Structure 1
């Protein structure tokens, strides 16, 4: 059964939507609240304006007073503070300035006082799908200036027409759009998701493609080296896309509120919108509202991730060795003596992790580890050192996400050795899956002290999501802080195998500890 987020309805994370009311129910506040609820969060709303609209046209927009807008925000903050805020339609410059000032003062004060970080997702509703241009409350009004939001928003999600508005010029091709998105990211000091799904977008293709540009200050994206990505999904031939932008941004907010990082939230939200468009319905004459389909759990609903340069490590379709046996309890060790003792104890998969590249005995250790693997008819993986692993014909190599850009992946594939890849999030999991590796490691599940980690512990709830998405596609190995007391809970997620480090290496009797872990893993129901 596919897990839901969050596990307990009592602990639903709070998401705010600050946007306009859509009388047709397909976009705006109504679409946001439906999405937030569908993805397991509690939605609160601060209404910026009342609109008379349906799925075909917008006939009248009336903003609420500044006093009313601020009163809504203050009332919510005093009782239901948010984990994430989504901002939608702001009808004039005065509202932008008012909200930006409030975010920079009242919300910032709350964050300092509580220690809670509140992410803000801005969907700059400047040009609606039906062609209405918002600005100073009327069609064809002055272009809105979002610069007051600099430094207080996490992500902005312009569509193709809005990106052109921000650029202040015509955009001719994908490269031009990328430059415009990077300029916008620098200007507003935030990440940018430029949406290209609308027919007629400059970078339109047979697939629906979005541009994702990371903010330089976004520490959560360090493993991807602040690269820009193209997110491509099969185009759904449907005009039923009314409210798709509102749904995407509120879905991103909801997934982040549930504990996922920005990269993850974008991937899940894009899949959620794709599924919603496929199942949309038409209660009236115009385009129908998107269906609310719950947390996406089908791999083909998720976007393909690619880089915007010729050095994309995923550009070539690769094939790595398929594992013919389960990994079981998979120890990761630093010492050859322990590696040999584990093989003598019956371990069939072991990893040698020597992090010091300046170790004068590095190559000799890898040579000996490979020999031991052959002697004991076991699978020995070499962590990081792929060139030496190829040179000495190791069974396999294990790489972290940051190593995928330095390693010669086609050369590893041609060498016929197995490849294991680490992942720390949905984004990285999907990124790794595109390689068709021999296995994917999911972690770190619990807190660990064996290495400095770029992310927070994933926990069992996230692990359940990852397994539900890729179960049966690749061997999935949970790693990070797993010990004898946690095996039963980990196994309930239906993950295929577990990798262990401290539970063996720091045990008083490593071999006895290993055997106990194996017994527990194989006996738990």
Structure 2
């Protein structure tokens, strides 16, 4: 019997600690029912405590990876993460315009969870002009959204609405605004801005330091659910449910000495425990 899975291409940086970036994307796509392939844009030396070095991949190698994947695999959706500089953004945008994947999720990675810069200042304009208009949905966190909307960073739940007007002016179809940075709030809401409407996806906050790679994981799962044919709102709800459960399942993990990862394969663990 032959079976098929939707092919999801993740284009992002590599995380040597395995909790974020390409590694987290591959885990999330695999756990949510897709076949993951990748284009690596940068090598990072990082762990749960921070990023110590970033080495961009040469542009020709990025082009070669893109061509190798698109010329052979039936890519159903693309998730974009860390790009690093304007040249990489332009290289990628040209390839995406040419190949035209059915679904494109862009996670505009600008800083790590520990505050380390991951996107050069001069690259923000290229991101807004070249890549965001191609996206079906972008998934900024609050600091990224404030930078894109040219607004002050909200620090309380009541201040988040101040970002909506600026985000609506971005040239992209939809925005999934992630509220995980509101760490003093008892709940963890995300907001979908689409078609002039705002819908909130809310969940109780899991109090854990193990949040390394949550943004990567959410956007990769969202791309996978879109590739499976779910409409945007249902895909967002499914991805939100997945990351919330992955955070809860990973709350007790002891990996490294800083912000640990989530448990991407919590469903498999539950099945194994049930059959033990």
Task: Tell me, in whole angstroms, the C-alpha distance in 2 between the residues paired with 1:175 and 1:276.
Answer: 27
The alignment partner of 2:33 has SS state of coil
Match of 2:68 in 1: 75
- 1:403-450 Cα deviation digits (max 9, x unpaired): xxxxxxxxxxxxxxxxxxxxxxxxxxxxxxxxxxxxxxxxxxxxxxxx
Match of 1:156 in 2: 138
Alignment of 1:296-335 (within 5 A): none
1:197 to 180, 196, 216: 180
1:284 aligns with 2:252: no
The Cα of 1:98 is off from its aligned counterpart by 1.5
The alpha carbon displacement at 1:176 in A equals 5.4
| SS in structure 2 of the partner of residue 61 of structure 1 | strand
Q: Secondary structure at the match of 1:279?
A: helix
CA distance in 2, matches of 1:69, 1:162: 24
In the alignment, what sits opposite 1:102? 95
Q: Which residue of 2 aligns with 1:208?
A: 188
Measure, in 1, the Cα distance between the counterparts of 2:88 and 2:138: 17
| 1:110-189 paired onto structure 2 within 5 Å | 118-136=102-120, 141-142=121-122, 144-145=124-125, 146-147=127-128, 148-172=130-154, 177-189=160-172
Equivalent pairs, count: 263
Q: CA separation in 2, counterparts of 1:287 and 1:176?
A: 26
- Give the whole-Å Cα distance in 2 for the aligned partners of 1:56 and 1:155: 30
Distance 1:181 1:121 in 2: 19
Change (3 A) 1:228 1:199: closer
Where does the alignment leave 5 or more consecutive residues of structure 1 unmatched? 1-7, 109-116, 217-225, 297-525
Q: Which residue of 2 aligns with 1:258?
A: 228
Q: What is aligned with 1:52? A: 45
Root-mean-square deviation (CA, aligned residues, Å) is: 2.1
Q: Deviations over 1:263-316 (max 9, x none)?
A: 1111111111111111111222222211024679xxxxxxxxxxxxxxxxxxxx
SS of structure 2 residue aligned to 1:35 = helix
SS of 1:37 mapped into structure 2: helix
Q: For residue 238 of structure 1, what is the aligned residue in structure 2?
A: 208
SS at 1:230's partner residue?
Answer: strand
Distance across 2 between alignment mates of 1:171 and 1:284: 29
User: Could you list the per-position Cα deviations for residues 190-223 of structure 1 after superposition, in whole angstroms to 9, with x for gaps in the alignment?
Assistant: 20011111245xxx63210112100x3xxxxxxx
- Distance in 2 (CA, whole Å) between partners of 1:128 and 1:227 is 29
1:270 matched to 2:263 = no
Please state whether the residue corresponding to 1:121 is helix, strand or coil.
strand
Q: Does 1:227 align with 2:197?
A: yes
Shift of 1:101: 1.9
User: How many Å apart are 1:56 and its aligned residue?
Assistant: 0.9
The equivalences for 1:451-490 within 5 A come to none
Change (3 A) 1:237 1:259: same
1:87, 1:121 within 8 Å by CA — same for their partners in 2?
yes
CA separation in 2, counterparts of 1:191 and 1:15? 20
State how far apart, in whole Å, the 1-side matches of 2:221 and 2:214 are. Answer: 10
* TM-score, normalised with respect to structure 1: 0.48
CA distance in structure 1 between the aligned counterparts of 2:212 and 2:219, rounded to whole angstroms:
14
Structure with the bigger RCO (C-alpha within 8 Å, sep 6+) is 2
Question: In structure 1, how many angstroms separate the alpha carbons of the residues matched to 2:168 and 2:106?
Answer: 12
SS in 2 for 1:60: strand
Q: Distance in 1 between matches of 2:78 and 2:263?
A: 22
Q: Do the aligned residues in 1 keep the contact of 2:142 with 2:177 (CA within 8 Å)?
A: yes
Contact between 1:243 and 1:289, CA under 8 Å: does it hold in 2? Answer: yes
Measured in 1, the distance between the counterparts of 2:248 and 2:266 equals 13
Sort the Cα spacing of 1:185 and 1:120 in 2 relative to 1 into closer, same or farther, 3 A: farther
Q: Is the 8 A contact 1:149 1:188 kept in 2?
A: no
Task: Please say if residues 15 and 44 of structure 1, whose CA atoms lie closer than 8 Å, have aligned partners that are also in contact.
Answer: yes
Superposition TM-score, scaled by structure 2 size: 0.88
The answer as to 2:219 corresponding to 1:249 is yes
Q: Is the contact made by 1:15 and 1:253 (CA closer than 8 Å) also made in structure 2?
A: yes
